A and B are shown apart, each in its own frame.
Chain A
Amino acid sequence: AQTVTQSQPEMSVQEAETVTLSCTYDTSENNYYLFWYKQPPSRQMILVIRQEAYKQQNATENRFSVNFQKAAKSFSLKISDSQLGDTAMYFCALLVYNTDKLIFGTGTRLQVFP
């Protein structure tokens, strides 16, 4: 069985600062993908960034980057230059190759303060 754990229920950061959200996962499969989704107060689920497990290079999307440690089964999200619009719930998710079923963590609520 696959599991995703987000151990930080809530985080806060000041505008323009950097914050890191943690995620660990468990799977016995070798081929899988990892995602971070953002859910703002509007409740829309927005894909922030993705990482293919076979790629060693960490994914980056503008101010968002990940630290993927495959051996440790860790997948953290770093948000640089935090903006007020980054305030949202952030979900880490695992997708095992050939299953298409996203397994979500419980989420981290991020508050960005001015």
Chain B
Amino acid sequence: DSGVTQTPKHLITATGQRVTLRCSPRSGDLSVYWYQQSLDQGLQFLIQYYNGEERAKGNILERFSAQQFPDLHSELNLSSLELGDSALYFCASSHTGRGGLNEQYFGPGTRLTVT
């Protein structure tokens, strides 16, 4: 158990809908990262938050957004869902935001299926 929690574990929804994925980082970790794992794109970095502020952006679609709250949990919002958004979404956390060895610990993931 990495100490990172994600809810829900599974999510099935229809095209055009909006969903919210939730992540709680390990105790003491200030950074949260979101990754998408799909069959055709592999594991891709989406976005990083550090202590409530966006720190880095990757290949995140405009239909996707995220935020980190004062209690450091994070939410990833996916809207106007398409079939291709079906994937495993991972949250990871680390203690600091940047610099030095900053190991990222992954949550169990949320499996999103868009039908």
Contacts and interface: CB of A to CB of B under 8 A. Distances in A.
Contact of B43 (A47, A52, A91): A91
A109 interface: no
A46 to B, nearest CB: 8
Interface in B12-43: 31, 33, 35, 42-43
Nearest to A42: B108
Interface residues of B, number: 29
B64 interface: no
Interface of chain B: mostly helix, strand, loop or mixed? strand
A99 B99 CA distance: 8
A98 B58 contact: no
B114 interface: no
A37 B48 CA distance: 19
Interface stretch (A14-22, A61-69, A71-79, A100-108): A100-108
Contact of B101 (A52, A99, A103): A52
Contacts of B94: 100
Contacts of A91: 43
Interface string B32-66: 01010000001111001000000110100000000
A90 to B, nearest CB: 12
Given A99-B56, A100-B31, A100-B55, A43 B43 contact: no
Interface in A32-91: 33, 37, 42-47, 50, 52, 91
A45 B45 CA distance: 14
Interface hub of B44, B45, B104 (most chain A Cβ within 10 A): B104
Contacts of A103: 45
A113 interface: no
Interface of B: 2, 31, 33, 35, 42-45, 48, 55-56, 58, 88, 90, 92, 94, 97-106, 108-109, 111
**10 A-B pairs with least C-beta separation:** A45-B106, A104-B43, A101-B45, A106-B42, A98-B98, A44-B108, A43-B109, A100-B98, A101-B56, A98-B99
